[in-house]
Amino acid sequence: MTTTLTLVGAATPDRPPIPPNRLLTCGLIAGPLFVLAFVLEGAFRHGYDSMRHPVSSLALGPGGWQQVVNFLICGILTILFAVGLRRSLRPGPGALAGPLLVGLWGLGLIGAGLFTTDPVNGYPTAARGDSWHGSLHDLLSVAAFAGLAFAMFFFGYAFARRRSPVRAVYSVVSGVVFLVLFFLAGTGFEPGSSLVDTAGLWQRLSIVVGWLWVFQLAVRQRRRRRPRP
């Protein structure tokens, strides 16, 4: 009598999911830090009116180095967040272009810190300059705001492709509100504008909407668990 033995391999246990990239934490820190810094600086800066003056004007006058440091630190944090975002999104729609657009926002913040703005709406002086560094500041700031707006719209498309309709709608709505507030602020900073007394408010609301979107994106990606290959 012959006995046949059959060896059955043990089932391979499921591997734990990949933990969230630590660089995503930078997206949780950058926005609150940036907003808290300019709120405190504006509250204690003599002659500065948060309702009228842009955040960039805090880099001028006594104590201006504080806002310069705020720009640089938050810009670096945003770029690090974009790197972590790239790693957490791949593979899938938006894994490359989305983080690049978020990184553009970070680069714009760094540029805004390196090249100070000219006086606007009477702070710190009544004269409105037209310096080379002020022109560079304006150019980099517009590029940064445009990059963040495009990032919101692009992620709206990407999240729709990823079957996350709530995130898609939130991104698109945030992008629209962000651009409208940015336009109102830019109009108010022009000489003789009827919005001069509220230009700073519109800009701050625009910045808060943008940073809130970044924060929510960081929260979403940190909660997401990718399976190991």
What is the reported pLDDT for 187?
Answer: 92
Distance CA 39, CA 4 (A): 79
The pLDDT of residue 125: 79
Buried residues in 118-151 as b, exposed as e (16+ CB within 10 A):
bbbbebbeeeeeeeeebebbbebbebbbbbbbbb
pLDDT, block means (10 residues), the chain with 229 residues: 50 52 93 96 91 93 92 97 89 82 95 92 76 90 93 93 90 96 93 89 97 95 65
SS3 content of the chain, % helix, strand, coil (to 5): 65, 0, 30
Going from N- to C-terminal start, the domains of the chain cover 22-223
pTM: 0.86
Amino acid 54: pLDDT: 94
pLDDT at residue number 89: 83
What per-residue confidence (pLDDT) applies to 11?
47
Closest CA to 158 of 140, 183, 175, 179: 175
